[in-house]
Structure 1
Amino acid sequence: MHRVTLGTLAGVVGFLAFVELTSGFLQGYYTPMLTDIARHLSVNDADVNWLEGSQLMLAALVVPALAKLGDMVGHKRILLWSTAITALATLALPFTDSFVLFLVAWTLQGFYVVWLPLEIALIWSRSRSREGRSLVTARAAGILVAALETGAITGALLGGQLVDTLPLTVVLLIPGILVTLCFFVILFGVQESPDQLGGRLDLVGLSLISLALIAFTGGLSLLRLNGVGDPISWIVVVLGILLIIPFARWELRHPDPLIDVRLFRSPALAPVFLTAALFGMSVLGAQAPLSTFLRTDPEVYGYGLGTTGFVTSLAIGLYLIAMIIGALLYPWVARIATPRLTLVGAAGLVGVGYLLFVPLHDTYAQMVTNIMVAGLGSGALVAALPAAAAAAAPAHQTGVATGLTNSTKTVGGAIASAVFGIALMHGASGGATGGTAGSFEGYVTVWLVCSISAFVAAAALLFVVPKHAFQDRGAPVPVPASELP
């Protein structure tokens, strides 16, 4: 296998790095100012999780459909449309002080979550003639994630600085301008993937999975509003789970399913999807609690660090630097060891990082150290999971497989966001803390859930995934008849 250089990748990655820079900017920019946004909208810190949860719920709904459409009509085309929706929603945020309207715009902004899986599928498609295809994709994914985290660092530092000096309306306008620019970069700079499969979108399957996800996440939201003792909320959650059954049966019969549920039977892919879901709990569900914990005034509530927006953004920036390092190290470590063992180690780092928060959370240095340990593993996982799914998936379903890593990740994040919202509002003992801050017991719950979920993911990757998974196939392998739709 020949050595794949950065020059080799340049033609494959192209302008996609700028797209991920923009994606990272969106993900980092708002985090230092979540407390300010909560005060601006006259809601409590725990209600910030509604923003996170609603965006994740939308992502879980749209990613399967958009990933499938990417395979059907072209990944660039879907990338362009999702960017247009994100731009309109982002531009709407500065012009409302209503929590409901802000929530709607914030939710629609979540279309950006499909960008990375579409880009990985596009890269996989365009690198089909290259030797060492999985390594090409893994290194390209590392570059894209490095761009994403660079954007997130830039966004976090700029957002933290501006929120301390400018009116919030002006601060919220900047991301919308950047996403609009991103639209034109994609329009004129990104080349379309060479293969489009055509066909029709499975609208019945889309409707069934949408109903299941809406019921499931809606039930979690009701639990958060009404408490864990509310039977109706649990009934809605169980209904969402049960609705997966008719969806799966329909997909098994459909000649061109929205999601080939047989992919979940694959010994290589199933643990990847499980890892993505468990990883989503920390990388998507825990960001708002980390920010609000740092900014909580210890003199008032007895915990937290009382940091300013800019100091909070510095901690986030160091976390993102660690993610860049993890993303760029992944292909190098995977070549020395194996992709599977590297994924196991990355998930283990996330688990260790969040476990350290339980005893070590009293100083800024402790918080930053914990964040960076988790960040190293998180960066590797963000880069590795879609690349691993592309390498393990049938050739005609790379978009679907990479999209499923994001879908399962966002479902995990949505679940965690709801659970964390309940924990922060009521605490492990069930008593509200009063005021606008979350409960300390709730923060401990966040850290433990993130740690345990990461260790479970590491165990699944270690004991279930075949030893040589996620590596280049020596020759095209026909799909067994039993695995065909």
Structure 2
Amino acid sequence: MVDSLMSSEQDIGARATEPSSRARVWLLVVACLAVSMVVSSMVALNTALPDIAVRTSATQSQLTWVVDGYTLVLACLLLPAGAFGDRYGRRGALLIGLAVFTVASVAPIVVDGPVALIASRAVAGAGAAFVMPATLSLLTAAYPKSQRSKAVGIWAGVVGSGAVLGFLVSGILLHFWAWQSIFWAFAGAGALITAFACTVPSSRDEDAAPLDWRGAVLIGAAVALFVFGVVEAPIRGWSHPLVWGFMAAGVASSVAFAALQLRLPAPLLDVRLFARPDFATGALGITILFFANFGFFFIAMQYIQLVMGYSPLGTAFALAPLMVPVFVLSIATGWYLPRVGLRAAVTVGLVLIATGLSCLRLLDLDSSYLDLAWPLIVMSTGIGLCTAPTTSAIMGAVPDEKQGVASAVNDATREIGAALGIAVAGSILAGRYTSELRPDLARFPEPVRERAIGSLAEALAVADRMGPQGAPLAELAKSAFLHAMDSSVLVLASVIAVAALFVAIWAPGRDGRQSRLVRRPAGGRHRG
């Protein structure tokens, strides 16, 4: 299969005729369609988990892995998949990924049971790992540098809006059909985009060294072990030996990977790139951006549905305004980034995200949608200012023949940031909710206390079955959740503020130089 897909790549290399303007626009459309499908798939099943639990008898742990299995496999295969595209052809890698994703999306329709569902989602994640880096590397290879920022900006805007789009589409589907409709939609979209992808120009590094399989195994294991530990943290607790063990093993594997790469003449990833201010700023910025984004989504979706009383579809529409500033500012990157520089754009963006998150602490049990909407706009403006510049910084720091690897670094930092954001926000939310609610439950029977202490959703379900007597329980649980949400967003905002300070000091400015605090003396020498 690989040989047949790659055969068309042999006569299309970096020295091939540059694609026409129309071909580049079509490539941009296909790349955006493919990456929006992959990103939407990360979150779409969140809205369907209650139905899946009822229809498949899945446990809470199995439901968690229905969502996280996809993300985990995607994260650990990104870098090898990006290098594969650079070596053997980026369009071929995209076609392989789309084919695997499409077939895996059909599986839950024809097989039954939670284990089969988790396995199919993991396989879909493997396909997605080939799709994401291929879409961006195809764009950066096809577009001349004078037009690259705009194309990358549009791609980044689509990625930044993908989560909201996933919530919106899945909410509409579930409003009319059963949960299997989500997989029908992904399978149909995958087949259609595969047909489109056959028509786009390709690129590859004709002089690429053989793929570093030892490095691929090490970095895949590093990401998988670390993300697995992070995903398990909210369930088992951050102090659990399993959590620390997996995270430590992930860090050890990454150190071994770095040591191996420094010894190779043609490394999978030149780890010295992380010493470059632009590359390091891009990697940190994207990690923190998705840390905030997915941590916020985890909290906000519960607040909107359980406290404000919105339906899943109503929640998606409530979050839809987030997409507008993100997309507009991503497209405008080519205009404002040369004028203000990477340091100012990312620093201001991170400060706005931290400010928007902090303003969510003003919400109470009777807040209106307008009370929620203006912090969302502040946040999304910050996200828009960060999204495309950080991606451009990573891609611009790497040679054209390594664009697949650079794209994979860009995507891997997103997945790690998202996993960390959900884990941190979820852990703080659960711990503070329990500690706030427990003292107020003494007057309720033991069975009620056991259920209510688990989560706000369970507390409200118990309160509904108690009739009029359940109103005080619902009020107490919502109040405890609000206090817990305050703690979560405060921690998220604090982490982002620290990252903003680092970027303000370390990132290059409009002149391409760092802040005076870290700028070397003339001649580049340090006094001993």
Amino acid at match of 1:119: T
Structure whose CA Rg is larger: 2
Aligned residue among 485, 500, 522 for 1:458: 500
Q: Aligned residue for 1:433?
A: 453
State the shift of 1:61 in Å: 0.9
Contact conserved, 2:44 with 2:170, CA < 8 A, in 1? Answer: yes
Q: Aligned residue for 1:341?
A: 344
Amino acid at match of 2:92: R
Mapping 1:38-117, distance limit 5 Å: 38-42=50-54, 50-95=65-110, 98-110=113-125, 111-112=127-128, 115-117=131-133
CA–CA distance in structure 1, aligned partners of residues 81 and 373 of structure 2 = 36
Q: Provide the TM-score with structure 2 as the length reference.
A: 0.76
State the shift of 1:13 in Å: 3.8
Asked if 1:177 corresponds to 2:192, the answer is: no
Q: Deviations 1:122-162 (Å, cap 9, x if unpaired)?
A: 232223xx4xx1x4111011233455567766654443233
Amino acid at match of 1:305: M
In the alignment of these two chains, the number of paired residues is: 452
CA–CA distance in structure 1, aligned partners of residues 246 and 357 of structure 2 = 31
Contact conserved, 1:283 with 1:413, CA < 8 A, in 2? Answer: yes
Amino acid at match of 1:126: A
Q: Which has the higher contact order (CA 8 A, sep 6+)?
A: 1
CA–CA distance in structure 1, aligned partners of residues 423 and 216 of structure 2 = 24
Secondary structure of the residue aligned to 1:164 is helix
Aligned residue among 213, 233, 256 for 1:246: 256
Asked if 1:125 corresponds to 2:125, the answer is: no
Secondary structure of the residue aligned to 1:16 is helix
CA–CA distance in structure 2, aligned partners of residues 116 and 306 of structure 1 = 35
Contact conserved, 2:73 with 2:122, CA < 8 A, in 1? Answer: yes
CA–CA distance in structure 2, aligned partners of residues 171 and 120 of structure 1 = 25
Amino acid at match of 2:192: L
Amino acid at match of 2:209: G
CA–CA distance in structure 2, aligned partners of residues 461 and 95 of structure 1 = 49
Q: Aligned residue for 1:279?
A: 289
Q: Deviations 1:213-252 (Å, cap 9, x if unpaired)?
A: 2332233344333323423432332232223222211111
* Structure 1 unaligned residues grouped into runs of 5+: 1-6, 297-303, 472-485
Asked if 1:290 corresponds to 2:300, the answer is: yes
Contact conserved, 1:35 with 1:45, CA < 8 A, in 2? Answer: no
Amino acid at match of 2:228: G
Q: Provide the TM-score with structure 1 as the length reference.
A: 0.82
Q: Percent identity?
A: 21
Q: 1:407 to 1:32 in 2, by over 3 A?
A: closer
Q: Aligned residue for 1:391?
A: 396
Q: Is the deviation greater in 72-81 or in 395-404?
A: 395-404
State the shift of 1:328 in Å: 1.7
Amino acid at match of 1:163: L
* Structure 2 unaligned residues grouped into runs of 5+: 1-18, 439-451, 459-480, 514-528
Secondary structure of the residue aligned to 1:337 is helix
CA–CA distance in structure 1, aligned partners of residues 417 and 165 of structure 2 = 27
Q: 1:21 to 1:374 in 2, by over 3 A?
A: farther
Q: Aligned residue for 1:14?
A: 26
Q: Aligned residue for 1:258?
A: 268
CA–CA distance in structure 2, aligned partners of residues 170 and 181 of structure 1 = 16
Contact conserved, 1:348 with 1:455, CA < 8 A, in 2? Answer: yes
Q: Is the deviation greater in 36-45 or in 365-374?
A: 36-45
Compute the RMSD of aligned alpha carbons.
Answer: 3.2
Secondary structure of the residue aligned to 1:403 is helix
CA–CA distance in structure 2, aligned partners of residues 387 and 346 of structure 1 = 15
State the shift of 1:28 in Å: 4.4
Q: Aligned residue for 1:476?
A: none
Amino acid at match of 1:106: R
